[in-house]
Structure 1
Amino acid sequence: MTVDGGYADFFGPQVPRTGDEGQTATFALASAAYRDNEVSEILKANSEWHESKVSEGQKWAKIFRPNLGEAFATAVVNRMLGSGRKPLIQSFGAEPQVVVEHCLAANRIRKERDNLLSMVMVLCGVLFLPGLLIWLLVFTLRTTVAKRDDKRASTLATTLLVAVGALAVIFLLRMPFTGFWAWYARAAVVMPVVGWFWAKRICERTARDLRARWDSLLSGSSVGAKVPEAVPSSPGETAAEQLRQSLAKLSAEQQSNSVFYAGPKGILGMGTRWGSWQLAEDLVPADPDREIHPFRSWDVIRSIHDQLRMLERGPLNTGGFPKPSIRHWIVTPVDENAGAVSRPEGTDVEAYQVKPHAIQEICNKQQFGSGDRHYLGVQWVLWDGQLVITMLITVTVLYETLRIEVTGHALGRVHPLFSAKPAAKEKSVQKSLKRWESRTIKLPLVDTDEVVRLAARAPLTWYPPLLNWLGGSLTLPEPFGLRHVWADKPWRHRFMADDALRAATPVLRVVHSAAIKVLKENGVDTEKFGSRSASLSGAVQDASPKKADLYDA
């Protein structure tokens, strides 16, 4: 796959088809682009290793604050498609291009709404600026009062709005001006209110569309993300061509065979290391009169690779393993608090892929000291993309000792925050006569404050830096990858934990069996290797998750 591939490689289809299983994690993350919750809700998905941050902007400009969908879609698009962006972490168990396309689609829907609201603001607001400023001041005060903890705050806020409305009516009836300014003053009072009703209809229509897409993604019907601006229709459309290339670059980076080990955080994108099993014995000739036939680490790895491909087959027809992904990985060490990563570059790398001859050289030579390391990985993506199990194998030879290390990594499901469907807006109130009973009343999909917020933000969406300075924005965790920064621990789910633990035993036995076979073929005495392998095979049956990346030292 090349970065400059044709349109068909990356745009057909743009999202998985309806009923496509294994996309739960992808659709859950994509649904965040359509949400209308408070932006601070995403902080609930923070973990001990990865934290999103929400900047509040200017305290006096809370009316310009974004909601979760607006902040999420903008932040993800800027981070993953922005010019000069930093490298991304692969999203195993999810398709980042699909998520980004939904973010682009959500931004386009909101842009169309904001264009209409901007027109309303010009016709009913800017032309009658004194009245608009007064009404905005009133709504800002009302919102500030309503958010106080005092139980009477809501009543006071409503009273304030009613009082201002009464004063507006009195002002219209007993106008202190005459002539042109009298009519302008009347219009300055009335037109912002007319614009509010007009804006409310626009906002409600868009809100219904966004919520329908949110619900559809989580229900499995997988509504398509239409991104026409990413498909150039003529050679002169440089913006569309640049966006197309950015999406192609994102897709290519997702396929990279380079990953990063960040200390206690484990391998970024694959999760923390929960278990480790090591077989290390001396290389002794099976025949004292003959020397060992020379072989290298790559010969052992290649044999292990061939045997791991047989994992999906078994002597009994009982289901067993689904087909795993078996790949050679180049692992680069980074600091656990690193704010960015840097992918390998040079003639040995093409389209984010380390070439096979370079992989073989790293496997054979870079086993001690600084530099990247080679690992053979067998990976399963289970539970519709919610669980990623990775077993990594590395072979090292130092002096006369051959060491085979198998480590287990697990990445849990996407945080439940992303799986919450849109709830009807309603609240419980006391009955007027039977005060000990309550009833549920439906609230409008878009309330008064929301209409004012959207209308006030609309004209400023043309210059995002100013809007972010006023209302705040969402800062994504770094190094950023859509899947791992919002992943829960798999051990909280009984069956997911079982799947991760059960994978260790057969993988370990296949690895040892393949390695011992190579050793025998090259004249190595395998008695000690066999004994040690049997011991590990017994120990791994009682595997339990541990913090293997945290050394007690």
Structure 2
Amino acid sequence: MGAAVAMDGFGPGAQVPLQGSGGGAGATNALASAAYRDSPLDTIKEADNDLYKSTVKEGKWHKLFHPDLGEAFSRAVQVRMLGGARKALIQSFGADPQPVVEHCLAASRLRRQRDIKLTLVTFVCGVLFLPGLLLWLGVIQLRRIAAGSDNKRTSAVGTVLLVAAGLFALLVLLKLPFDGILPNYLRAMIAAPVVGWFLARRICEGTALDLRERWTALLSGGGIGAKIPEAAPRDPGEKAAEELRQNLEKLSAEQQSNIVFYAGAKGVLGLGTRWGSWTLAEELVPQPGREIHDFRAWDLVRKIHDQLTLLERGSLKTGFPKPTVKHWIVSPVGEGADEVSRPEGDSIVHYQVKPHEIQRICNDQQFGAGNRHYLGVQFTLWDGNLVLTMMVTVTSLLHTLRIEVTGHALGPVHGLFTTKPKAKTKEVSKTVRFWETREIKQPLMTTDEVVRLAVRAPLTWYPPVLDFLGGKLVLPEPFGLRHIWAGPPWKNRFMADDAIRMATPVLRAVHTATIKMLDDHGVDTERFTNRSLVLGGAVQDPGPKKADVYDA
């Protein structure tokens, strides 16, 4: 292992996901399916919530070069999560970001293979007969503009224009003399782009079917694994492959980070907003005839940690899930911050705060500026679509000990990511019973779509040009794959019940460990016990509140 660290400067090549690092394959697959989608890019706005908004920037020639959802999503995610100068990422609790990025890479690879074939067809049938190609593109662009008009007469003009172009092409093919280079070139100039369109359509349909099969398979619970051979270097000289491999490893390491960020009303980024808070705060009074044995906040936190790990060992065999109990360092950022930065230094290794530093923060940084320590117990439920987290913090000021338990809930991935592909249909009036309508199946690849893919294909070798011409997707910041497209859990009755029910056993486990620890150290626990009973009654009927929004 030491040799591997020395070789790449970061860590060992093979990484085993730690428990609680990601979780549900359902949420992961739903997000990954976006890489294969052929929906319009604007549909991503449906997944926006009140806190995070995606931005669709239109390009210079948006109507001709615009990307679809899968193309823009794959490009945006790759740049944001694997870019050399990328900003810090927010952990994707309840999902694993590495498979999502790998599927984006795999989808881009499939499209790149398609674009190589399309570029060859475009060169042979288009560039060699450029005047005819430009003529047909002009007709199609005018038809597209006319078709997009609300004026019915203008829309009809588009259809007439296409028919007129077809008649003109037929006239050129039949009426020109058959001898000479120029007449034959003019015929080829008109016919070659049409032949190229038929070839391009077959290529596009083959790739589209492959992408849709992967999209469907991911949402069906299985799916073909993401194949990215460019991330497996075959020899030390393949710098691009080695760099990609290291970036994927860093992505996994950052997902395991024990540093999270609190952003005001947005709550702890990645964990969802705080919906409930219960505080046990009383004065430390010695038992009659005894003295209080000195202890620090970390001593109590360790006892609470041990008690929380036993949550699954209940009296009744009810299938209570095993929680993930972890020490968190919470760093404050502004509510409107558009980026976060992870701390660096001798106490940070692979995005992880070392244990001795966690202990120091827990004991010393309880008041004033600086990071804070929280003990988190997390449940990943509903195949990753519900992430419930209870955060415990212990503070001691003068003679007052305060144990605060807060509840955070991250809801399901937006329904946009869980829809399977549907056949393209169009509603038309029946021939005889014209007052009734019927649906007719449309081809997967329309003329406009084939033209769009064909004109984009030669430019895929340099994506910034396509971003300029067609537009791109700008992801909201601070960015994390999971939390920016999460909906509220309170609209699902069962999810809301799970969140509310989970609070009671966690709160009581915390109080049990606290009172036992205090009793062993000579503290009179009567007030703590009474207060615990009051909180135990209140937590039996909790309701979700906006605990991060203070009415002041």
Q: TM-score, normalised by structure 2?
A: 0.96
Aligned twin of 1:204: 205
- AA aligned opposite 1:337: G
Greater alpha carbon shift after TM alignment, 372-381 vs 461-470: 461-470
- AA aligned opposite 2:227: K
Equivalent residues of 1:273, 1:408 under 8 A apart: yes
Alignment deviations for residues 468-501 of structure 1 (CA, whole Å, 9 cap, x no partner):
1110000001111000000000001000000001
- AA aligned opposite 2:510: V
- AA aligned opposite 1:234: D
> How far apart are the structure 2 equivalents of 1:236 and 1:91?
33
Q: Could you say if the C-alpha distance between residues 330 and 203 of structure 1 is closer, same or farther in structure 2, counting changes exceeding 3 Å? A: same
**What percent of counterpart residues are identical?**
64
Alignment deviations for residues 81-103 of structure 1 (CA, whole Å, 9 cap, x no partner):
11011110000100100000000
> How far apart are the structure 1 equivalents of 2:263 and 2:170?
65
Gaps in structure 1 of 5+ consecutive residues? none
Structure 2 residue matching 1:85: 3-state secondary structure: coil
Equivalent residues of 1:326, 1:376 under 8 A apart: yes
Aligned twin of 1:181: 182
> How far apart are the structure 2 equivalents of 1:355 and 1:86?
22
Aligned twin of 2:278: 277
How far residue 7 of structure 1 moved from its aligned partner, in angstroms, is 3.9
How far residue 175 of structure 1 moved from its aligned partner, in angstroms, is 3.4
How far residue 506 of structure 1 moved from its aligned partner, in angstroms, is 1.0
- AA aligned opposite 2:410: L
Aligned twin of 1:90: 91
Q: How many residues align?
A: 542
Equivalent residues of 1:105, 1:225 under 8 A apart: yes
Aligned twin of 1:371: 370
How far residue 188 of structure 1 moved from its aligned partner, in angstroms, is 1.2
2:10 is the alignment partner of 1:9: no
> How far apart are the structure 2 equivalents of 1:382 and 1:435?
51
How far residue 290 of structure 1 moved from its aligned partner, in angstroms, is 4.2
Equivalent residues of 1:278, 1:405 under 8 A apart: yes
Equivalent residues of 1:330, 1:375 under 8 A apart: yes
> How far apart are the structure 2 equivalents of 1:208 and 1:360?
55
2:389 is the alignment partner of 1:381: no
> How far apart are the structure 2 equivalents of 1:294 and 1:54?
58
Aligned twin of 1:118: 119
Equivalent residues of 2:62, 2:471 under 8 A apart: no
Within 5 Å, give how 1:238-277 maps onto structure 2.
238-277=239-278
Aligned twin of 1:392: 391
Aligned twin of 2:296: 296
2:40 is the alignment partner of 1:41: no
> How far apart are the structure 1 equivalents of 2:430 and 2:532?
72
- AA aligned opposite 1:292: I
Alignment deviations for residues 500-534 of structure 1 (CA, whole Å, 9 cap, x no partner):
01111111111011011111111111111111111
Equivalent residues of 1:81, 1:247 under 8 A apart: yes
How far residue 343 of structure 1 moved from its aligned partner, in angstroms, is 0.8
> How far apart are the structure 1 equivalents of 2:54 and 2:24?
26
Aligned twin of 1:517: 516
Q: Could you say if the C-alpha distance between residues 442 and 307 of structure 1 is closer, same or farther in structure 2, counting changes exceeding 3 Å? A: same
How far residue 150 of structure 1 moved from its aligned partner, in angstroms, is 3.7
Equivalent residues of 2:504, 2:540 under 8 A apart: yes
Equivalent residues of 2:281, 2:402 under 8 A apart: yes
Within 5 Å, give how 1:148-547 maps onto structure 2.
148-151=149-152, 155-175=156-176, 179-287=180-288, 289-319=289-319, 321-547=320-546
Q: Could you say if the C-alpha distance between residues 105 and 171 of structure 1 is closer, same or farther in structure 2, counting changes exceeding 3 Å? A: same
How far residue 160 of structure 1 moved from its aligned partner, in angstroms, is 1.6
Equivalent residues of 2:13, 2:249 under 8 A apart: no
Alignment deviations for residues 146-179 of structure 1 (CA, whole Å, 9 cap, x no partner):
1223455654332221111111211233339973
How far residue 61 of structure 1 moved from its aligned partner, in angstroms, is 4.2
> How far apart are the structure 2 equivalents of 1:6 and 1:512?
41
Q: TM-score, normalised by structure 1?
A: 0.95
- AA aligned opposite 1:315: S
> How far apart are the structure 2 equivalents of 1:78 and 1:365?
39
> How far apart are the structure 1 equivalents of 2:404 and 2:177?
88
Alignment deviations for residues 207-255 of structure 1 (CA, whole Å, 9 cap, x no partner):
0000000011011122211111100111111111000000000000000
> How far apart are the structure 1 equivalents of 2:142 and 2:247?
44
Alignment deviations for residues 63-87 of structure 1 (CA, whole Å, 9 cap, x no partner):
1000000000010011101101111
Alignment deviations for residues 2-43 of structure 1 (CA, whole Å, 9 cap, x no partner):
7744443379xxxx9xxxx93110000000000000000001
- AA aligned opposite 2:546: K
> How far apart are the structure 2 equivalents of 1:444 and 1:8?
44
Equivalent residues of 1:10, 1:248 under 8 A apart: no
Structure 2 residue matching 1:332: 3-state secondary structure: strand
Structure 2 residue matching 1:541: 3-state secondary structure: coil
> How far apart are the structure 2 equivalents of 1:277 and 1:9?
38
> How far apart are the structure 2 equivalents of 1:394 and 1:101?
37
> How far apart are the structure 2 equivalents of 1:152 and 1:379?
60
How far residue 284 of structure 1 moved from its aligned partner, in angstroms, is 1.0
Equivalent residues of 1:215, 1:422 under 8 A apart: yes
Equivalent residues of 1:26, 1:95 under 8 A apart: yes
- AA aligned opposite 2:496: A
How far residue 433 of structure 1 moved from its aligned partner, in angstroms, is 1.3
Aligned twin of 2:147: 146
- AA aligned opposite 2:238: E
- AA aligned opposite 2:291: E
Aligned twin of 1:22: 24
Structure 1 residue matching 2:111: 3-state secondary structure: helix
- AA aligned opposite 1:23: A
Equivalent residues of 1:57, 1:65 under 8 A apart: yes
- AA aligned opposite 2:316: L
How far residue 314 of structure 1 moved from its aligned partner, in angstroms, is 1.0
How far residue 126 of structure 1 moved from its aligned partner, in angstroms, is 0.9
Q: Could you say if the C-alpha distance between residues 492 and 366 of structure 1 is closer, same or farther in structure 2, counting changes exceeding 3 Å? A: same
Greater alpha carbon shift after TM alignment, 40-49 vs 179-188: 179-188
> How far apart are the structure 1 equivalents of 2:66 and 2:188?
29
2:133 is the alignment partner of 1:128: no
Structure 1 residue matching 2:376: 3-state secondary structure: strand
Structure 2 residue matching 1:9: 3-state secondary structure: coil
How far residue 143 of structure 1 moved from its aligned partner, in angstroms, is 1.2
> How far apart are the structure 2 equivalents of 1:4 and 1:362?
26
> How far apart are the structure 2 equivalents of 1:156 and 1:367?
72
How far residue 443 of structure 1 moved from its aligned partner, in angstroms, is 0.4
Structure 2 residue matching 1:8: 3-state secondary structure: coil
> How far apart are the structure 1 equivalents of 2:218 and 2:150?
36
How far residue 182 of structure 1 moved from its aligned partner, in angstroms, is 2.0
Q: For the aligned residues, what is the CA RMSD?
A: 1.7
- AA aligned opposite 1:537: G
> How far apart are the structure 2 equivalents of 1:152 and 1:427?
21
Alignment deviations for residues 131-155 of structure 1 (CA, whole Å, 9 cap, x no partner):
1111111111111111223455654
Alignment deviations for residues 411-452 of structure 1 (CA, whole Å, 9 cap, x no partner):
000000000100011112111111122222110011110000
